[in-house]
């Protein structure tokens, strides 16, 4: 990648561009949302209260997809490992990466009416947990593997040939229980299958699997340590082309990147606002598989908060962000429309401010309470809680046109 494009595909770029729009908002110079700094402390109060409610000892786990595999007190990942006692070491990490990569890519908004029934626990769940269990069950049943003798993998051949019908069946999607964005989700996995074919030249294979990312990262680890930025770099460099966003820079696809008219810097990246929400969510979710294999992931706060509707909804519902035109929240907005780009950018910037204030109030260091734990404790849970209190269906305050690839 040219340097300008490589920069755009980084967490530094996400933080810098979002901070520029935040500064504009504080100067009352953004077209769609205003920021009320006086409301942030009340928002922090809510987040701290819910964090202490969920984790009274403040031993907060990372915000990652792994949290969603535990539903109704049952940890499905633990059950899978118990059923496969031979899984260990590098192969355990590969299997975990295969699973979590696919599950994260399928974790866009399901819609307010969709539900998933888990036969294992006889429970019916919705939203992120429902999507997690559905993807987990499909993975365990070999849907993403082309090798019947090796069902616990996600390989290029199976992903390339995945059909929308198989995916809808796995999600129990019917006309009466419709999953939003099934076509978009399927297209991302097919793109992933195509990209995988040449993603890991360091690991020769006729049918590469996602888990080969472990081998790449292990080879790069310095004394069994990797920075979170290094992990995100590999995810974006190798897989940015799977995203269906029409956004390009210098003729190169750059993934989850929007545009905003307030940004003018005279470079090839002018007006572009990167988020890389699912790629960063994926990076957070890779931390534990790497740790299980003995690789420490450090400098987690080099990543940013996630520009998604629970974190962003929290800020609107607590009054930290206000739409300049109230009619804005009554319309269904496209993911890359300028109002949504502005909302997402301000969300990323305010999450950094919330993290600082939480640490000050709780007298914790960034090592004890990194952003990954603030999100988990945390802002995401608070966003879901306040949405359910404000709206009967628990929907976010901004109505979004979802295609199953971002939200």
| Residue matched to tokens 């939003």 | 180
| Residue matched to tokens 């307010």 | 112
Max CA pair span of the chain: 61
Whether residue 4 is predicted with pLDDT greater than 70 in this model: the reply is yes
Per-residue pLDDT of 25-81, as tens digits, reads 999 999 999 999 999 999 999 999 999 999 999 999 999 999 999 998 999 999 999
Mean pLDDT of 312-323: 98
pLDDT for residue 402: 73
Mean pLDDT of 124-144: 95
Cis (ω within 30 of 0) for the bond into 389?
no
pLDDT for residue 404: 67
Mean pLDDT of 381-389: 96
Higher pLDDT, 6 or 172: 172
Whether residue 83 is predicted with pLDDT greater than 90 in this model: the reply is yes
Taking the C-alpha atoms of residue 295 and residue 221, their distance in angstroms, rounded to an integer, is 7
Structure tokens belonging to residue 208: 């590469």
Per-residue pLDDT of 88-117, as tens digits, reads 999 999 999 999 999 999 988 788 889 999
Determine phi and psi for 253, rounding to 5 degrees: -65, 140
Per-residue pLDDT of 326-371, as tens digits, reads 999 998 999 999 999 999 999 999 999 999 999 999 999 999 999 9
Taking the C-alpha atoms of residue 305 and residue 14, their distance in angstroms, rounded to an integer, is 10
DSSP result, 144-158: T-S-TT--S--BHHH
pLDDT for residue 254: 85
Whether residue 8 is predicted with pLDDT greater than 70 in this model: the reply is yes
């Amino acid at each position: 990648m040219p340097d300008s494009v490589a920069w755009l595909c980084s967490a530094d770029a996400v933080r810098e561009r979002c901070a520029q729009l935040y500064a504009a908002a504080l100067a009352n110079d953004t077209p769609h949302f205003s920021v009320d700094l006086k409301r942030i402390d009340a928002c922090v109060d809510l987040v701290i209260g819910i964090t202490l409610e969920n984790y009274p000892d403040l031993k907060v786990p990372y915000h990652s997809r792994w949290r969603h595999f535990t539903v109704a007190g049952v940890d499905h990942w633990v059950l899978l490992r118990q059923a496969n006692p031979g899984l260990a070491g590098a192969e355990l990490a590969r299997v975990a990466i295969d699973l979590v990569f696919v599950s994260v890519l399928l974790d866009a908004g399901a819609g307010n009416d969709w539900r998933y029934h888990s036969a294992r626990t006889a429970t019916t769940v919705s939203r992120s947990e429902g999507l997690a269990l559905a993807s987990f069950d499909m993975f365990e049943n070999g849907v993403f593997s082309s090798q019947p003798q090796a069902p616990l993998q996600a390989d290029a051949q199976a992903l390339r040939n995945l059909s929308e019908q198989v995916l809808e069946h796995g999600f129990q999607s019917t006309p009466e229980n419709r999953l939003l964005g099934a076509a978009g989700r399927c297209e991302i996995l097919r793109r992933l299958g195509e990209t995988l074919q040449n993603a890991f030249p360091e690991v020769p294979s006729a049918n590469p699997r996602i888990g080969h990312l472990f081998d790449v990262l292990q080879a790069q680890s310095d004394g069994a340590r990797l920075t979170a930025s290094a992990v995100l770099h590999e995810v974006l460099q190798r897989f940015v082309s799977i995203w269906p966003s029409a956004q390009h820079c210098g003729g190169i696809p750059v993934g989850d990147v929007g545009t905003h008219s307030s940004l003018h810097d005279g470079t090839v990246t002018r007006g572009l606002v990167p988020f890389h929400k699912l790629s960063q969510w994926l990076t957070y979710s890779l931390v534990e598989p790497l740790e299980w294999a003995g690789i420490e992931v450090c400098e987690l706060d080099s990543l940013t908060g996630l520009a998604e509707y629970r974190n962003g909804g929290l800020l609107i519902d607590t009054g930290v962000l206000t739409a300049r035109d109230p009619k804005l929240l009554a319309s269904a907005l496209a993911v890359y429309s300028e109002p949504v780009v502005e909302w997402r950018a301000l969300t990323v910037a305010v999450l950094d401010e919330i993290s600082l204030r939480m640490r000050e109030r709780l007298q914790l260091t960034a090592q004890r309470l990194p952003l990954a734990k603030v999100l988990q404790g945390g802002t995401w849970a608070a966003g879901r809680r306040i949405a359910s209190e404000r709206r009967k269906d628990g929907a976010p305050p901004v109505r979004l046109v979802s295609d199953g690839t971002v939200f």
